[in-house]
Structures are given as C-alpha cells and as structure tokens.
Structure 1
Amino acid sequence: MIPPSNSTGSPPGRTPTDHLTPERDMTHRHFEAGDHVVVIKGVAGGELWGDAMRIVAPSWHTPTNENGWRLRDATGGDQSYVTAHPRYLVHLTRRCPDCVIYLRAMEDHLLPKTHERSSLIDFGWYTVTSLGQLVHVADARSGR
C-alpha cells in the first residue's frame, strides 16, 4: 500500500541513495492522461509512500529535455500542478508489470534500510523548480 502524503519528515542519519529511478527506462507512452500515479518519496510505517497525483496532459520536462507529464495533486499543497518525467511515476490504479517490478525493487532496496524506524521518512530525492517542474536530485545534478 502506498499512502499518499504531502508530509515531510527528515531522516536521521544518511538518506538511502536512489539508484533505481535515474536508471529507470520509462517512455512517455507508458502513461496517459487520466492515469492515477504516485511519486515514491520515502517510507512510512514500513511501507513506501509518496505523492499521489492524476496525469492531466503531456508537457515538456525542461530539466531532462524529454517528454513529461503535467500532474495534478488533488490535495493541493504548495503547488497543485507539476510537470514530471515518466521515470518518476508509478501507476496507482492499475498493476502494470513495469510499475510492479519497479515498486518491488524499491521495496527491496529501501525497506531493509528503514525497518527500525516507524516515523515518516522523506528521502529528499525530489524538488520542485520555479517553473513548477518536479526534478529528481540525479537530474538536477546532471543538468540533463
């Protein structure tokens, strides 16, 4: 279960590095307008958690110079709409094989590193630019 959340918590100690998302090969065509998705941002109570959103329209993702998606966060937060690269997204309402494999890999990578902590842990992998674009730290550093 991936409970949606806009909460932030600071992980004590080192934050696990996300080697999986930057290497994920997810095409723009994998998602479509109307899909419910989640961006995995951390762990809460021994489960993955992230921000749940709905895809509303195609959009250019400037930080990666690739096709992205405009997403609507129904809970609002600082920004109700952001643009994101497809590799950041996971289907929430349908269990497609690619997304299930990615979720299992994230669980295998993250849950053992956080099993002793019961609080919400936001790994700080994402930031939103002044243009309203969700950017993974690996993309922000590389300047792609």
Structure 2
Amino acid sequence: MPETRPVYLPPDPLTPERDITHHHFRPGEHVVILKGAAGGELWGDAMKVVADSWHTPTDEDGWRLLDPNGGDRSYITAHPRYLVHLSKRCPECLMHQKALREYLVKRLGDDDEAVDCSWYSLTALNQLVHVADARPGR
C-alpha cells in the first residue's frame, strides 16, 4: 500500500446504506475494505474471510477477517456491508465500487497521492466500525 495522507471527508454515505446479507460472503473468499483513493482508483485493505462472528458495535453479524500481512491486528471483525469481493466478479460489489469511485473522485480528484478518508476505526476488540455506524461512546 502506498503511503497515505489522511483526509477527513464527511462520512461515506454509500456504505452504511448498503444492504448486504450475511450470506453474501463465504469463508475463504478474498475481500477488500475500501478506505480511500489514489490516481482516480480506489484502494483499501485486502483480507481473507475466515468465519462469521458477532459484531457488537452495531449489534449485527459480521465476518472474521484475516490480514495476510499479519501484524498486531491479524484478525478483525467487519460488517458485510464494509466488504467488497476481490476473489470473484460480483455484480453487486462491482456496482458499489463504481458508485464509491465516482463519489470519491469528484471530491478528491485523480491525484496520484493515496488518500485515506478515515471512515473506519478499530475498537479495542479488533472490530472495524464505519464512522456512520458507530454508536455514541464507541
């Protein structure tokens, strides 16, 4: 991943409204959590779906993900609506990517410098939460 500069845009309005069922993703699939843009393209963190898990910050089911790069946060839990398929051409995920790319490029332009929109945070329990989904006090 390129070095990123943080940008604080209003919360992404598309992802929190995305209606993805828990069964959309399967263990073993490769996904990406889209976090920003660089050069007019989206970038994010690539992960592998490991298993389903309870997602307490939003009281909704999430997925347990493995970061193939390891590190302090090798495993996180994320809500399915935060994920986009990498391992298969999924029409819904492709439409979401296109809409998110159009939303970001209008605001950020097509500068080559990678921009992290700072829409996600990790809780102390390694649960990924989108700023629009975080409950007060989290």
Give the Cα–Cα distance (whole angstroms) in 2 for the partners of residues 116 and 83 of structure 1: 31
Q: Which runs of 4+ in 1 moved over 3 A?
A: 5-8, 141-144
Aligned with residue 20 of structure 1, among 14, 17, 22 = 14
Report the residue type matching 2:85 in the other structure.
H
Percent of aligned pairs sharing the same letter: 58
Give the Cα–Cα distance (whole angstroms) in 2 for the partners of residues 49 and 79 of structure 1: 19
Contact 1:6–1:77 (CA<8 Å) still a contact in 2?
no
Distance apart, 1:93 and its partner CA:
1.3
Structure 1 residue runs of 5 or longer lacking an equivalent are none
- 1:17-67 C-alpha deviation (Å, 9 max, x unpaired): 300000000010000100100000001222100000000011001111111
Report the residue type matching 2:67 in the other structure.
D
Contact 2:30–2:49 (CA<8 Å) still a contact in 1?
yes
Partner residue in 2 for 1:138 = 132
More strand by share: 2
Q: Say whether residues 1:108 and 2:102 are aligned partners.
A: yes
Over the aligned positions, Cα root-mean-square deviation in angstroms equals: 1.9
TM-score by length of 2: 0.91
53-62 vs 112-121, which moves further: 112-121
Between Structure 1 and Structure 2, how many residues are aligned?
A: 138
- Closer, same or farther in 2 for the Cα pair 1:16/1:118, shift >3 Å? farther
